[in-house]
Chains A and B, each alone.
Chain A
Amino acid sequence: MDQRADREFGRSIGNLDEIFAFVESFAASTRIVGEDLFALKLATEELFTNMVKYNSSEGDRISISLWRNGSMIGLELRDYRVAPTDPDEWSSADLSDPWHERKIGGMGVHLVRRTMDELEYTYERGTMIVRAHKQVR
C-alpha cells in the first residue's frame, strides 16, 4: 500500500531542521531505518539545497513529497516558477581528482546518485521536478 507525505518549505537553507524533522517523521511511520533513512535524508538535503543555491526562481516555496510503496522508497521535489536550468551543472566535482585539485563544492549530486538507485530531472511549465528512489535494503 502506498504511503505518502507532502509538504512545502520556504526556499531557505535555514529550513533544513524542519525538513529533517519531516523526513524523520515519515521514516518513523513507514519503518525506514538505518542506511535507507540516511540515504533519504541525504538526497532530500542535497537536492533541496541545490535548488535553493542554483535555481533562479520567482517563487518562495519548494514542495517535498516522500513515499513508500512496498520495498521502494522515494522522494520528489518541485521548485516552482524557475528559469530552465541544467542540473548537470550541480555536479561539477570530479571525485577522482587528487586532493590538491579537488573542488570544494559540486559533490552533492554525486552522493545522491551513489546512495539512491535512480535520480531524474524534468522541467514542466516552469517547474523543475526532481525524483529519486531506491529499494529498501
Chain B
Amino acid sequence: MFEIKCGENGVVVLAGRLDAAQAEKARDFFASIDRSIVVDMKELDYISSAGLGVLLAVQKRLKATEKGLTLINLNQRIRNIFTVAGFDRIFEID
C-alpha cells in the first residue's frame, strides 16, 4: 500500500508503493503544498509513471514561483527510474 504524510520538520514522507491506483491520493496531498519542501523517499519501495507524473506536476507548479521539491533517500532502483525518466535534471536529489 501507499502512505503519504508530513513527518518531522515539515518533511513529506512517502512510503510503500506509489502506483496508478494511488496517484490521486498523492496528488490530493500535494495540492495543498505551496512552498519548497523536502520529500523523504526512504520508505518508498516502488514508483511508476503515474507517481512520477504527480511529482512532475507539483514541481512544475512550484518552480513557476521559484520554489521546488528536494527529494532525499531514494533507493537505488527508484533513483534509476528517476534517471531513466530524466527527472535527475528536474529535481534536486540528495
Interface, chain A (partner B; CB < 8 A): 13-14, 16-17, 20, 34-35, 38, 41-42, 45-46, 49, 95-100, 102, 104-105, 107-108, 110-111, 114-115
A41-B85 in contact (CB<8A): no
Total CB contacts across the A-B interface at under 8 A = 66
Asked if A46 and B48 sit within 8 Å, CB to CB, the answer is: yes
Partner of B49, one of A46, A98, A100: A46
Q: How many residues of B contact A (CB 8 A)?
A: 24
Q: Is B52 an interface residue (CB 8 A)?
A: yes
Is the contact region of chain A dominated by helix, strand, or loop, or is it mixed?
helix
Neighbouring B residues of A42 by C-beta, 8 Å: 46, 48, 81
- B interface list, Cβ under 8 A from A: 1, 17, 19-21, 46, 48-50, 52-53, 56-57, 59-60, 63, 77, 80-81, 84-86, 89-90
Name 10 interchain pairs, CB-CB below 8 A, sorted by A.
Answer: A16-B20, A38-B46, A42-B48, A46-B49, A49-B50, A96-B86, A98-B89, A104-B53, A105-B49, A111-B81
- Of chain A, the residue at the smallest CB distance from B76 is A35
| Cross-chain contact of A45 among B48, B53, B84, B86 (Cβ < 8 A) | B48
Are the C-beta atoms of A35 and B19 separated by less than 8 Å?
no
**With A16-B21, A111-B84 given, is the CB distance from A102 to B48 under 8 Å?**
no
